[in-house]
Amino acid sequence: MEKEARIYIAGHRGMVGSAIYRKLKAEGYTNFIFRTSQELDLRDTLAVQDFFAAEKPDYVFLAAAKVGGIQANNVYRADFIYDNLMIQNNVIHQSYLHGVKKLLFLGSSCIYPKLAPQPLKEEYLLTGELEPTNEPYAIAKIAGIKMCDAYRSQYGCNFISVMPTNLYGPNDNYDLNNSHVLPALLRKMHEAKISNQPTVEVWGSGTPKREFLHADDLADACYYLMQNYNEPGLVNIGTGEDVSIKELAELIQRVVGYEGKIVWDATKPDGTPRKLMDVSKLAAWGWRYTTNLETGIRKVYETESVFQAEPIS
């Protein structure tokens, strides 16, 4: 990407988009195009068409999406499939119509079959049934991957797809009903510590295993792939290492300094038993993560404003 290129980061205020912005700014890029969701509804086809016609971005990072944890995905099923399909359909199609040089589409590790072999290789896509709780979201993201490949095949567009593992970092969502497991646990432990609660209840059995990547590492990988990768298909972005939810809860308890007891609510869903990325394809292209999980969590806990204040009601 040329330093003077016009770069549109869709979703620039979210955890992923803001990390990509920080990375590009650090690399010397200055010509950014931003719109908040209030300024531009990416589900609105005519509005997106007008935006691309007026702004003419050279490069697009498609990090805008409707996202959430198990409960949000399961309850708001129609919203998750509709919003995500509309966002990506509009941005990808207008990128083609307006001659965007390269687009990077961000998916999610939930695209893989629920019982796919571990670790998850890129070729396992569409080889089995999805996890039911987040199937609408996953189907939207699979459609995005296939759409990028179809536009590459038919029109020669240089559109690439990346699938990050579970992410955490600055600007994460800490809402207890709609957030992912790591930020939710951080908030629960923090509030329990501040309020001197004797116990913290955690959903599930604690046995599922998950992989976690710091958002700044993801941004570094996305920048690297925008510079070096020009192929169809998708690329996993992760650490290639995982921990059980029980181990994660205990690690967060240690970082926060909460001295009470963790209680497991086995009546709540566990989700997919394991989601570990095979990152050998990315490693072959020359990239590897750098942020250790405990170091990354500690950094988040020490810097995020939500943990510097009184408990959230």
Residue 264, burial from CB neighbour count under 10 angstroms (0-12, 13-18, 19+) = middle
In the DSSP assignment, the letter for residue 120 is B
Cβ contacts of residue 40 below 8 Å, gap of 6+? Answer: 47, 48, 51
Q: Give the model confidence (pLDDT) of 173-196 as tens digits.
A: 888 776 788 999 999 999 999 999
On whether the 7-168+211-237 domain is CATH 3.40.50.720, my answer is yes
- Summary mean pLDDT of the chain: 94
Q: Kindly list the domain boundaries of the chain, sorted by start residue.
A: 7-168+211-237, 181-209+242-275+292-307
User: Residues of 196-207 as b/e, b for ≥16 C-beta within 10 angstroms?
Assistant: ebeebebbbebe
| Mean of pLDDT values over 280-299 | 97
Q: Give the model confidence (pLDDT) of 125-153 as tens digits.
A: 999 999 898 899 999 999 999 999 999 99
Q: Report the distance separating Cα 93 and Cα 73, nearest Å.
A: 26
Beta-carbon-side half-sphere exposure of residue 3 (alpha carbons within 13 Å): 4
Cβ contacts of residue 292 below 8 Å, gap of 6+? Answer: none
Q: Give the model confidence (pLDDT) of 68-98 as tens digits.
A: 777 777 888 999 999 999 999 999 999 999 9
How are beta strands 243-244 and 209-210 bridged, if at all? antiparallel
Question: Binding site membership for substrate: which residues?
Answer: 188, 203, 210, 270
In this prediction, residue 107 has a pLDDT band, given cuts at 50, 70 and 90, of: very high
Domain covering 181-209+242-275+292-307, topology: UDP-galactose 4-epimerase; domain 1 (3.90.25)
Question: Binding site membership: which residues?
Answer: 11-17, 106-109, 141, 164-167, 180, 188, 203, 210, 270
Q: Give the pTM.
A: 0.92
In this prediction, residue 279 has a pLDDT band, given cuts at 50, 70 and 90, of: very high
Q: Which residue has the tokens 């072959």?
A: 284
Judged against a pLDDT cut of 80, whether residue 271 lies above it is answered with: no
The answer to whether 137 is a known catalytic residue is: yes
Distances (CA, A) of 123 to 1, 113, 126, 145, 250: 28, 11, 8, 13, 34
* Candidate list 137, 151, 223, 258, residue with the active-site label: 137
In this prediction, residue 212 has a pLDDT band, given cuts at 50, 70 and 90, of: very high
Q: Give the model confidence (pLDDT) of 158-170 as tens digits.
A: 999 999 999 999 9
Q: Provide the strand spans (E) within 84-128.
A: 102-106
In this prediction, residue 313 has a pLDDT band, given cuts at 50, 70 and 90, of: very low
Whether the CB-CB separation of 213 and 167 falls below 8 Å is answered with: yes
Q: Report the distance separating Cα 162 and Cα 222, nearest Å.
A: 8
